[in-house]
Amino acid sequence: MKSKKFILFIMYFVLCGFFFSQNKALDYKEERHRFNQKLISNQSYEIITKRITSNDEFIGSFLGIAKTRLGKSYFIVKSSYVFNLNRSPTAENHIFIYNSKKEFVGYYYLSNINQLPQKLHNNRLYFNNEDCREKIIINLTNGIPAAINLKCNGEDDFVEFK
């Protein structure tokens, strides 16, 4: 009888340890938000890479603070989530916007890493896609545009703010 109780006792702890030690799936959106918050807090204009797993990473940088005519301030971050590093690397690219309290406001999703802006200066985002003839400058003085046009070689490419 004692051996049955002992075996049940051991099985209970083994099963509890198994269930409680299971890793929950990584929440990439939350992890990326924390990465962006760190970029804002450090306000470093350098490109920072953070390895998430052996197969994916975040790459991003703080671009600066845009101030509107109405007195609102926005933190601007460019960020890429690169996954499938071991096979065929793929990136999700965004321009993230945070308010003066460092709260998430929205983003522009960019289909190509070359579409990310190079810098923010005097409330203007400067883009320099080497594949395109046009130099694109987006003025943020009047606020965050509902859409931006990342025109390339005469072809319009509108990106909505979400």
pLDDT per position as a tens digit, 5-49: 544 444 444 444 444 434 446 687 899 999 999 999 999 899 999
Burial class (CB in 10 A: 0-12, 13-18, 19+), 93: buried
In the numeric block, the tokens 């320099």 are attached to: 128
**What's the one-letter identity of residue 15?**
L
Is residue 119 included in any domain, yes or no?
yes
Is residue 59 included in any domain, yes or no?
yes
pLDDT in tens, 92-132: 999 999 999 999 999 999 999 999 999 999 999 999 988 89
Is residue 14 included in any domain, yes or no?
no
Predicted pLDDT at 44: 81
Using the predicted structure, report yes or no on whether residue 147 has a pLDDT greater than 90: yes
Cβ(77)–Cβ(61) under 8 Å? yes
Could you list the residue range(s) of the whole structural domain that residue 144 is in?
Answer: 26-160
Predicted pLDDT at 29: 86
How far is the C-alpha of 63 from the C-alpha of 97, rounded, in Å? Answer: 10
Interior angle at CA 144, CA 158 and CA 71, nearest 5: 165
pLDDT-derived band at 140 (thresholds 50, 70, 90) equals very high
Is residue 20 included in any domain, yes or no?
no
How far is the C-alpha of 120 from the C-alpha of 140, rounded, in Å? Answer: 10
pTM of the entire predicted model: 0.82
DSSP state letters, 84-96: -TTSS-EEEEEEE
Q: Look at the chain and report how many structural domains it folds into.
A: 1
